[in-house]
Amino acid sequence: MTPNVTRAEVCLLGLGVTDPREIDVRAIAHEVGAAVRIRKLTRCEARIVGTGDRAIISVSEDSGFQRRRFSIAHELGHWELHRGRQFECRAFDIDNAENGPLNPERQADEYAADLLMPWYLFKPRLAQAKHVDLALLEEMHRTFDASLPATALRIADANVEPVIVACYDQSGRRWFKRSKDVPERWFPVDKLDPDTYAADVLTGKRDRTHMSAVGANAWFDAEGIGEYEMREQSLRLSDGKVLVILRITEEAMQVDYGRFGHSTDRSR
C-alpha cells in the first residue's frame, strides 16, 4: 500500500473516484461483495453478517439519509478490518468519538471517515480556507455529505491550524479532538464555564455564535492562563448537544504553557 494512503482511499482510487459526489457507498459495498438492505431493525441501527467473500449489511429504515450513509460506510469498515466477526451496531456505536482507539467501533468509524472524506479530496478543499470556523465546517459537511461532528473531527485531524473541536451536553464534555499543533496538555474543561459562548447555546439562549474572543481560562483549568485569549464558535446540534470550535490564536499559549499547572484528562 502506498505510504499515507488509507485502506479506504485505496478502494476509492481503485474505483476511479475523483470527486466527493462520486462516493456512492451502496455501489462501493456492491464492489466489495456486500449487499445493502434498508429494513426495520429493533436491536441495533446497523449490522453486517458475512461469510467468505459475501456479506449483507442491514441498516435501519428509521435512520436519515446522512446517518444511513455513514452507517453503511461504518459496516464496510468492519468488513474490511474485522472480517469473520459479526457486528450489531447500536446508535451509540456509530460515529461516536467517545470510543477508544482500540475499540472495533472506533476503527470502523475511522474507516468510514476515510471512505466518506478521503484526504486526497478533503485536504485540497481545506487548503482554500483562511481559518477553521463554522462556515468552513458547514461547507465541508455539505460537500462530503457527512455529519457535522464527523466533519469537525476530520478537520481537526487535518491540522490546518491549531484548533480543538469538542462536544458538550448538559452532563458535560462528551468528547474532544485536538489538531496536532495543539499540545497534548490542553484539555477543555469538563463542564462549560458560564463565561463561554457555548454555555449560551447549551442553555438555549441562542442556536449558534460568531467566532469571538474569549479568555483562555474559561476553557482550560490552568493557573495564570487568563492573560491569554483564544477564539470560540459554537453550534447547537439537532440532538441538543453543542459543537464547539476553539482556535488557539496566540503562539505564546503553546510556547509558555509549560509553566502552568494543568488538569488530568479522564476520558481520553
Query: How many whole angstroms separate alpha carbon 39 and alpha carbon 60?
Result: 5
Domains within the chain, CATH numbers bracketed: 7-116 (1.10.10), 136-259 (3.30.450)
pLDDT reading at 208 higher than 70: yes
The pLDDT, as a whole number, for residue 48 is 87
Parallel/antiparallel/unpaired status of strands 212-215 and 87-89: unpaired
Q: Using pLDDT thresholds of 50, 70 and 90, give the confidence band for residue 264.
A: very low
Question: And the C-alpha cell for 243?
Answer: 459543537
The answer to whether 169 and 234 have CB atoms below 8 angstroms apart is: no
Please give the biggest Cα pair distance in the chain.
61
Q: pLDDT tens for residues 156-184?
A: 999 999 999 999 999 999 999 999 999 88
Q: How far apart are CA 248 and CA 242, in angstroms?
A: 19
Q: How far apart are CA 211 and CA 246, in angstroms?
A: 9
DSSP 156: H
Task: Give start and end residues of each alpha helix (H) in 25-89.
Answer: 25-31, 65-81
pLDDT tens across 105-136, in order? 889 999 999 999 999 999 999 999 999 999 99
